Amino acid sequence: MAADTTSGGRDRFLTLNGLRAHYVEWGDEDRPVIVMLHGLRSYARTFEPLAGRLKDRYRVLALDARGRGDSDWDPNGAYHTESYVSDLEQFTDRLSLDGFVLLGHSMGGATTYVYAARHPERVRAAVVEDIGPGSSLSGAGAERIRREVAKTPRDFPDREAARRYWRSIRPHISEEALDSRLRHTLAPDEQGRWRWKFDLAGIAAARLDPDPARQVDLWPYVEALRCPTLVVRGGESDFLPAATAVAMTLRNPRIRLVDVPGAGHYVHDDAPEPFQHHFTRFLRSAEAVR
């Protein structure tokens, strides 16, 4: 297998539940594995700066969820937690992954709670970024995301207009993270307009008119976690209330909580250095009790 020449990683594809899925791999196959899952409107390479720092010691795998990045869009619009968990189950089975660390942001964090609770024998440690029970269902953050999804422009006349849009809804984002987001969420069409690389219509439909039968109560999964778990909350987040985050630690003593001052919902983008510090420190502590 070819070695990394940059922090960009290696592009890989496989089929999950009948859909062609894209993931990025950093590091050598014989190293401990970290699987990274992005959020609702994100993509695998959002974790590229973090993976670049970890690749000399770990094998890092970041998956583009169905409908995002370079993964297939779902013609049935099945953009909900159970689908993402099922995709992850097939992903870990296909790659024969065991004893790995699972990191999930927002939507990927919901997947992390459910998968880790259902497969305690496979997940050595979990890190969840800025989501908890109820975050996606109610509250200021859930309402904000619904408004943003409903008002998302279909396309932009040029790259600078797209930059202004992302900056308007992500005021805390670093310039490096903003450049990454422009590269990986948009692409020019034949007319020169910049269009989304994710299934805006399908994802919006699932988010704005959810099937009640497919909504997941995360509390039973939070309580069922058996691995060391770190919850990283943005100090300025409107999505994971501080009271909910504290309640999780009271219900499950395996959960540790850190708040990152000045960061919003996207902690790894808004405050990359503190996020990386907390993540790597947690990895060391989890390895010490392995």
Instruction: Give the pLDDT confidence of 199-249 residue by residue, as tens digits.
Output: 999 999 999 988 888 889 999 999 999 999 999 999 999 999 999 999 999
> What confidence score (pLDDT) does residue 133 get?
97
Residue 197 CB coordination number (10 Å)? 19
Q: Is 256 helix (H, G, I), strand (E, B) or coil?
A: strand
> What confidence score (pLDDT) does residue 157 get?
96
Distances (CA, A) of 270 to 49, 152, 176, 185: 12, 21, 10, 18
At 87, which amino acid appears? D
Selection from 221, 230, 226, 256 nearest residue 81 by Cα: 221
Superfamily designation of domain 10-138+216-288: Alpha/Beta hydrolase fold, catalytic domain (3.40.50.1820)
Helix (H) or strand (E) holding 230, with range, is strand 229-234
Enter the DSSP assignment of 191: T
Distances (CA, A) of 134 to 37, 39, 141: 19, 16, 10
> What confidence score (pLDDT) does residue 32 get?
96
> What confidence score (pLDDT) does residue 289 get?
52
Domain boundaries along the sequence of the chain: 10-138+216-288
Strand partners, 19: 16
Residue 275 CB coordination number (10 Å)? 24
Q: How far apart are CA 256 and CA 281, in angstroms?
A: 12
Q: Is 144 helix (H, G, I), strand (E, B) or coil?
A: helix
> What confidence score (pLDDT) does residue 213 get?
81
Q: What is the pTM of this model?
A: 0.94
> What confidence score (pLDDT) does residue 290 get?
53
Burial class (CB in 10 A: 0-12, 13-18, 19+), 261: exposed
pLDDT tens, residue by residue, 83-100: 999 999 999 999 999 999
> What confidence score (pLDDT) does residue 4 get?
39
Residue spans of the chain under pLDDT 70: 1-7, 288-290
